[in-house]
Amino acid sequence: MLLRASRRPGGAPESALTTLLALVTAWLAIGLAGLIRPRSLEFAGRALFVAGAVVGLLLAIVAAMSIALPAESVVLPIGLPDLPVHLRRDALSSVFLFLLGSASVGISLFAAGYFRSGEGTLPGVLCLEYHLFLAAMAMVLLADDAYAFMVAWETMALSSYFLVTTQHRIPEIRRAGFLYLLIAHVGAIAILLAFGILQGGSWQFTFDAMRGAQLPPIWAFAAFALALFGFGAKAGLVPMHVWLPEAHPAAPSPVSALMSGVMLKTAIYGMLRITFDLIGTPTWWWGLIPLGLGLFTALYGVIFAATQSDMKRLLAYSSIENIGILFTGIGLAIVFHGVGMDAMAALALIAVLYHAINHAFMKSLLFLSTGAVLHATGERNLGHLGGLIHRMPWVAWLTLVGVLAIAGLPPLNGFVSEWLLLQAFLLAHEVPKPFVNMLLPLGAALLVLSAALAGYVMVKFYGIVFLGQPREAALHDAHDASVLERVGLVWLAAGCVLLGLLPAQIVPMLAGVVADLGINASAAVTSAQSWWMLAPLPARSISYAPLVFTLAVVSAVLVTVLVGRLVYRRRTRRADPWDCGYERINPRMQDTAEGFGQPIRHLFQPFFAMDRELPSPFDRAPRYRVVVFDRLWRLLYLPIERIVQRAANAVSVLQQGRISAYLLYSFVTLIVLLASVL
Amino acid sequence: MNTIPLDLQIVNALAALLLLLSFSMLSQRRIVSLVNLLAMQGLLLTVATLMVAWRTGETHLYLSGLLTFALKVLFLPWLLHRLIRRLEVYWDTEPLLNIPGTMLVGVLIVVFAFGLAQPIAELASETTRNSIGIAVAVILLSFLMMITRSKAMSQVVGFLSMENGLFFGAMSTTRGMPMVVELGIALDILVAMLVLGVFFFQIREQFDSLDLHHLESLKEGD
């Protein structure tokens, strides 16, 4: 039936949406089924998660096939009386639903092999929270009125909060969860206010009414700024990023993967929805704000990632960097769209969508592999890992794919989207605005800097965890991932490879999505494009042919190996590693995580607040200790906390604890109300 | 001078007595007397209800009068007296505001209540000219009593007297609320009394006294 619908666009308009809703309901049902036998790991922790992965796969297929279909909507009479739930699926929703479904396949499969008994929350409850989280994200993407959106958004925040605090007996984890919940709610308030502005006096909270509302420019900008704040808080835009490096290490790895890979993208979705769909005509200079914040976030994230010694914190900061790249792209698209350069705007938006999907795959892959390492070794600290490629070859080789992808190396997927975004950036000097056209290319330089540093970070991550010699004796007993975990990792790694090899198939689909947002994308997808070559903007004669590139690289490697074999046949000998004349190399002589990050720490000193303890030359047992803080904590969050505390103390004067005082409050209120009637 | 029918005059007189009782409750410090005053208030209310019922011929008002009598004259005072004996609280401590001061505030409140009732009373039928003002005054005076007393028992009496005021207002202006609502309110009062009775014992158990000052220690510390 679905296949038929995709062959006849518009033929069966409601089928895709109803199927998607059925799949979301299936997720909910799987979650509830976890409560039947909540203590059974086999049932709730394994079987149901595999079922969830199957649903995710179906969701991804349906969403992918519905991208080209016309938008469809439905009104469900559930919820409060007179407030039915409006749902709508259009191309933008489909893209993000595809992202959600396809990434969740790998994550759910991995999770099915990951959870152990006796870890905090019961498996059944975990299953419920996990699938509720998935369903809530899907509903965020399908919502077509502010009520449905906010309810789904809050459900998403709450279910993920409970997932983060799975091991709620540990105080740091509870603290991280609270920080997450706090910032999520501050952001949610901003989003709610943005919707309140967008309804434009009609008091109709459907998205349709918001599309039709004519807002004065100043109010439209206020809505945009509130949305940027709200969705930025969810996505981890600096300075609202502080919850990310706390919450991600606290959560179990599949949850970190889901939050970082998918949930952050719902914020990108919301930003795109409000900016290009609901507001409709953003003014060009608005784009400079997300552009600037995004660039700063990208640099900030990657610099902090380089100095981390906890592998999940490192990845969390890397997520911040990628969110920065995405917001940069959004800002660039707004600027281009505002000045009428739609082809460029389309290119930037395609890059954003592409990068969102890419990041979902590669970051989930990396978070899951840290989960595998964590279970195998019990260590999160890079300083206690090393040499795992010999003990965990599956995890190590699959992680290598993710690492190369996120470092932006061709022929993998990270390269494609960053390349597209850079192409858009390099044409920014044509923007007909003075100063801006001079400053934007500098932004391109910053973007390249972050991308290069991301490569540095990934070398650190991979090199210290998997290469070299094990830094602890216990690492010799590390075991490789279980079968289900491997399947999950393989799925995500395959996604990274395919997305890297097939951009020429994917970009035209994304161009359709961008056109659906009201941006003329025809110039970005051209006849110069063929099935093997990506060539946006033919006038520039830029192109990228991943298959050719891969073939060239692979054949070059093969030829070298063959020539080497031929020339040095039978004359190879095996020797110990190069030891520079010093005979006993031990693991402690390897470069450490701190040592690897030291140049970055040195170069970008103003970013950090450091607490350093240097040994003196006369110390018997020299100790070196350095703790890197986020400067924004002291500059921004602690002052806010003090102000809130003071305000709360002032208000608490009201709370006397005396019943007569409380009665007096109601008495005075009553008198005042009655007097105002007079 | 237009003559007011006798039954209406009686209702008005009862209303005035009700207000007077509210003032005497405000000045009374013996809890036993307070409960007796409450019972008297209930009795006045019963008579007023029966008068209105007789005047208007609404049968359900007779019922509600009987209900009032059973509940507010017999049952609740009996319950309160029993509680007083078992808890051994006969006197309230010095009120937070001294009694003459409270009375002065009470006078101001009555003026305010009549001022408030003025515009409503002009719309209403002649039956109810004064009763609205009196009903509002009784409600506010009972509220004032709840604020100024510190023993839980006197606050409950204030609460019940507030309900009396509400009932009187409803009965005299709209010829009584629908039977369902009245039954519901009666049940509410009953349940509230029982719950509060349990509370008293718990409070005394915890603090060895019914003085609500002790509850201040439950406030969240700084």
A206 three-class SS: strand
Nearest CA in chain B to A665: B147
Non-local (6+) Cβ contacts of A602 within 8 A are none
Residues from B contacting A (CB-CB < 8 Å) are 96, 112, 115-116, 119, 140, 143-144, 146-150, 155, 212-213, 215-220, 222
pLDDT: is A9 or A455 the higher one? A455
Query: CA B54, CA A272: separation in Å to the nearest integer?
Result: 72
- Is A458's pLDDT higher than 70? yes
Q: Which of A232, A237, A156 is nearest to A194 (CA)?
A: A232
Residues from A contacting B (CB-CB < 8 Å) are 649, 652, 655-660, 663-664, 666-667, 670-671, 674-675, 677-678
Per-residue tokens: B43: 């009795």
Are the beta carbons of B147 and A664 separated by less than 8 Å?
A: yes
Residue A524: predicted pLDDT: 64
| Predicted confidence (pLDDT) per residue in A116-143, tens digit | 766 678 888 999 999 999 999 999 999 9
**Contact list, B116 vs chain A (CB under 8 Å):** 674-675, 677-678
Residue B1: predicted pLDDT: 44
- Angle of CA points A391, A396, A397, to nearest 5°: 125
Minimal Cβ distance to A660: which of B148, B218, B220: B148
Are the beta carbons of B144 and A652 separated by less than 8 Å?
A: no
Per-residue tokens: B96: 């937070």
Domain boundaries, chain A: 282-560
Q: Is the ipTM of this complex over 0.85?
A: no
* Interface contacts A/B by beta carbons within 8 Å: 47
Minimal Cβ distance to A678: which of B116, B144, B218: B116
Q: Which of A254, A255, A314 is nearest to A464 (CA)?
A: A314
Minimal Cβ distance to B218: which of A657, A663, A664: A657
Residue B222: predicted pLDDT: 45
| Predicted confidence (pLDDT) per residue in A307-361, tens digit | 888 999 999 999 999 999 999 999 999 999 999 888 889 889 999 999 999 999 9
What are φ and ψ of residue A590, in 5° steps? Answer: -75, 160
Q: Which of A538, A529, A489 is nearest to A508 (CA)?
A: A529
Confidence category of residue A221, pLDDT binned at 50, 70, 90: very high
Dihedral (C-alpha) B120, B124, B128, B134: value to the nearest 10 degrees?
0
DSSP 8-state code for residue A670: H
pLDDT: is A469 or A310 the higher one? A310
Give the residue ranges of DSSP H helices in A67-145: 91-114, 123-142
**Contact list, A658 vs chain B (CB under 8 Å):** 212-213, 215-216
- Is A7's pLDDT higher than 70? no
Place of tokens 């698209």: A333
Nearest CA in chain A to B148: A660
Nearest CA in chain A to B117: A678
- Is A396's pLDDT higher than 90? yes
Nearest CA in chain B to A670: B140
Confidence category of residue A262, pLDDT binned at 50, 70, 90: very high
| Predicted confidence (pLDDT) per residue in B66-112, tens digit | 888 998 899 889 988 888 888 777 776 666 678 888 889 999 999 88
Are the beta carbons of A656 and B155 separated by less than 8 Å?
A: no
Residue A65 and residue A89 in contact, taking contact as beta carbons nearer than 8 Å: no
